[in-house]
């Protein structure tokens, strides 16, 4: 595009968002956003289940999974990772994601669920829906990794034979946060406040690094004895 063309095209990001909103709205016709979501799930042959609120017949929670990923889940169900993302939609509903691993260490999405609240009953329902995706119940996962959300403790109730583990990333982050908070160093011989602060931060970083190194060695232990 030449410089003249660039001057004539002065579209800003707000106009792009507005145009995208109009396109999405026109594609829905007279359907609500939830109705449009259900229609798309049906068009693309997703398996989906919902909880209907009795008072006004609105959808409270929704669970869905793609047929191809259900096949993968039945072939590779040994390890699952479960976590939620937030602030992804205008309704402030959390998006609960379930991810699996293949035998080649590749990840794939098993299923998703929009939840109005993150309580034990909601997670119990999602896990029960997850079980329905398995052709053989004895093929249920052996290990489930979470960020230790208190409500997600129902994992060991709905799936009593699995081993629940804390996510390595969340574990490391918690250790670092605890170290920074509790590892207070009182340096000696400093001439000024800023010098004391620098020495303190340097010594604290060494302590945190040493603790993290020791923690990683424990997590990566090659055997039970070395652990």
Do 113 and 134 form a contact (C-beta atoms < 8 A)?
no
Domain ranges in the chain are: 18-166, 170-219
Of 11-15, 19-23, 107-111, 198-202, minimum mean pLDDT range: 198-202
Query: What whole-number distance in Å separates Cα of residue 167 and Cα of residue 153?
Result: 14
- Strands across the sheet containing 58-65: 47-53, 58-65, 107-115, 94-101, 79-85, 143-146, 163-166
**Residues 66/42, Cβ–Cβ less than 8 Å:** no
168-195: average pLDDT? 63
As a whole number, mean pLDDT of residues 152-178 equals 79
The pairing of strands 107-115 and 58-65 is antiparallel
For the segment 171-189, the average pLDDT, to the nearest whole number, is 65
pLDDT in tens, 10-47: 788 888 888 888 887 787 778 887 888 888 899 999 99
Q: Among 92, 157, 166, 86, which residue's Cα sits nearest to residue 124?
A: 157
Stretch among 26-30, 79-83, 135-139, 167-171 having the lowest mean pLDDT:
167-171
Residue 219 has pLDDT above 80, yes or no: no
Q: At what angle do helices 168-182 and 193-219 cross, to 10 degrees?
A: 150
Average pLDDT, the chain: 81
Q: What is the pLDDT of residue 197?
A: 55
DSSP 5-66: HHHH----HHHHHHHHHHHHHHHHTT--HHHHHHHHHHHTT-EEEEEEETTTTEEEEEEEE-
pLDDT of residue 1: 46
Q: Inform me whether the pLDDT recorded for 187 exceeds 90.
A: no
- Predicted confidence (pLDDT) at residue 111 exceeds the cutoff of 60: yes
Query: Bridge partners of 100?
Result: 80, 108
Given a cut of 80, is residue 80 above it in pLDDT?
Answer: yes
**168 close to 147: Cβ distance less than 8 angstroms:** no
Token digits of residue 14 = 């707000």
Tell me the two tokens of residue 146. 């979470």
Q: At 184, is the pLDDT very low, low, confident or very high (cuts 50, 70, 90)?
A: low
Q: Taking residues 170-188, report their average pLDDT.
A: 66
């Amino acid at each position: 595009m030449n410089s003249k063309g660039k001057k004539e095209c002065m579209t800003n990001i707000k106009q792009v968002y507005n145009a995208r909103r109009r396109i999405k709205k026109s594609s829905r016709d007279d359907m609500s956003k939830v109705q449009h979501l259900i229609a798309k799930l049906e068009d693309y042959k997703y398996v989906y289940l919902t909880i209907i609120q009795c008072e006004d017949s609105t959808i409270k929670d929704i669970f869905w999974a793609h047929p191809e990923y259900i096949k993968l889940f039945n072939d590779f169900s040994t390890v699952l990772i479960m976590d939620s993302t937030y602030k992804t939609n205008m309704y402030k509903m959390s998006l609960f994601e379930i991810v699996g691993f293949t035998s080649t260490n590749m990840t794939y999405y098993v299923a998703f669920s929009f939840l109005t609240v993150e309580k034990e009953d909601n997670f119990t329902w999602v896990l029960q829906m997850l079980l329905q995706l398995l052709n053989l119940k004895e093929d249920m996962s052996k290990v489930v990794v979470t960020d230790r959300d208190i409500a997600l403790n129902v994992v060991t109730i709905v799936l009593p034979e699995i081993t629940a583990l804390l996510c390595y990333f969340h574990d490391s982050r918690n250790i670092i946060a605890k170290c920074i908070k509790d590892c207070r160093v009182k340096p000696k011989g400093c001439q000024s406040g800023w010098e004391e602060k620098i020495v303190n931060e340097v010594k604290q970083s060494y302590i945190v690094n040493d603790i993290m190194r020791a923690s990683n060695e424990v997590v990566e232990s090659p055997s039970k004895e070395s652990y």
